[in-house]
Amino acid sequence: MESIQAIKQRFEIIGNHQGLNRALEKAIRVAPTDISVLVTGESGVGKESIPKIIHSLSHRKHSKYIAVNCGAIPEGTIDSELFGHEKGAFTGATQSRNGYFAEADGGTIFLDEVGELPLTTQVRLLRVLENGEFLKVGSSQVQKTNVRIVAATNVNMFEAIKKEKFREDLYYRLSTVEIHLPPLRDRQDDIHLLFRKFASDFALKYKMPTVRLSDDAVIALNNCRWPGNIRQLRNVAEQLSVLEKEREVNSEVLRRYLPEGSSNLPSVVEKKKSEGDFSNEREILYKVLFDMKQDLSDLKKLTLELMKSDNNEDVQRDNQKLINKIYGQDVEEDFESTESDFSEEKQQLEILQLGEHKTPQSLPEHSDKYDFAEEIEEEETLSLQDKELELIKKSLERHHGKRKPAAEELGISERTLYRKIKQYDL
């Protein structure tokens, strides 16, 4: 069994970080077996080196090694690329063709960006992992293949499983052994070593003196977050080698080649909001607005009851909890003043109810406000959204939660009903 240092020299891997050494050690140990391996890590950390190491140290090293970028193949053709197709299986299939799994028989196939695979292709891949069988597109004849699968992804697989974008059973089948490569920002002691290696390579490639960094530039280099990881560091080294006339680069020059806001210092790091963060904020905002709407509706109902009731003490007792909910605990001190504020309006309403003054001139000054409150209350009871929610609930209860018969009864498609269930959080 080769040592970690020998593997680093053979595959030109630079660095002494503990996480990197642990990943290489796991790759060396798992290589002689046929166990499926899942390599995880951010984009640009060098995940493609691990399957090469595994293949070269396995008993399959004399057979084919095929690397497939699953994210670069269109969804409509990926099944044909992986498993092959028969003549006439689809438009343009003028002849039969073998896929990657047939071509890599006896060897190793590396599925990069496996998290981007469509769900239908994931089902086919699971069958290959389980018993080595697959079907060509347009064929009914089962074929066998003996391949070792190494997959890699920069996707958070548990989030993808939660969102139903990746099959849970396939994840556990692929990740019999999981090898994680740390991001470059966690390997600060390795950053300058990698830069020197890249600068030396580009000096040979372009036949020019090697670019060097001053002490302050090394500090700036280590403080960068490197969101593109090793790939981004390599690009910066190449740009400096080609564009800068001076071979001694200071921090001021280096920062011109670094992205803005790339410092690794806590005081200047900004956390980028994901789509999920904005979604959570929207949900919280909607909930606050709905609560405010409900409180306003309760306030209107209480106001109307106060104006129409002949006994304010009964109203106060029956609605005390509602008042505390709307106004808080300090409302008891202000309730007497609230009663006096409504006394004049209440007398006017009593006069109207007795029919003593029925002309428009005798209406109280604020009578239009009462009409407005009554109209709003009536509109809320006739809300289309509330009626729709009520009908959906009743239909689902009647059909014991089965969406298809409920959708037929409501006269809408099952897909529309599913969207409404998600919308109302039923």
At 207-219, the pLDDT tens digits run 999 999 999 999 9
Checking if the pLDDT of 324 tops 70, the result is no
How does strand 148-153 pair with strand 108-112?
parallel
Question: pTM value?
Answer: 0.61
Determine the pLDDT at residue 151.
97
Residue 24 near residue 8, CB atoms below 8 Å: yes
For 244-253, how does the pLDDT look when each residue is reduced to its tens digit (9 = 90+)? 989 999 999 9
Res. 267 pLDDT band, cuts 50 70 90: very low
Topology of the domain comprising 4-182: Rossmann fold (3.40.50)
Q: What angle do helix axes 275-308 and 367-381 make, rounded to 10 degrees?
A: 130
Checking if the pLDDT of 335 tops 50, the result is no
Q: What residues does each domain of the chain span?
A: 4-182, 187-255, 291-381, 385-424
Residue 175, SS3 per DSSP: coil
137, β-bridge pairs: 85
Determine the pLDDT at residue 351.
52
Res. 394 pLDDT band, cuts 50 70 90: confident
The C-alpha atoms of residue 247 and residue 344 are separated, in whole angstroms, by 89
Res. 225 pLDDT band, cuts 50 70 90: very high
CATH 2.160.10.10 assigned to domain 187-255? The reply is no
Q: Which of 121, 140, 139 is nearest to 129 (CA)?
A: 121
CATH 1.10.10 assigned to domain 385-424? The reply is yes
> Pick the residue with more confidence: 271 or 406?
406
DSSP 77-135: THHHHHH-B-TTSSTT--S-B--HHHHTTTSEEEEETGGG--HHHHHHHHHHHHHSEEE
Checking if the pLDDT of 359 tops 60, the result is no
Residue 183, SS3 per DSSP: coil
Query: In this structure, is the dihedral angle defined by the CA atoms of residues 137, 132, 167 and 154, taken in order, positive or negative?
Result: negative
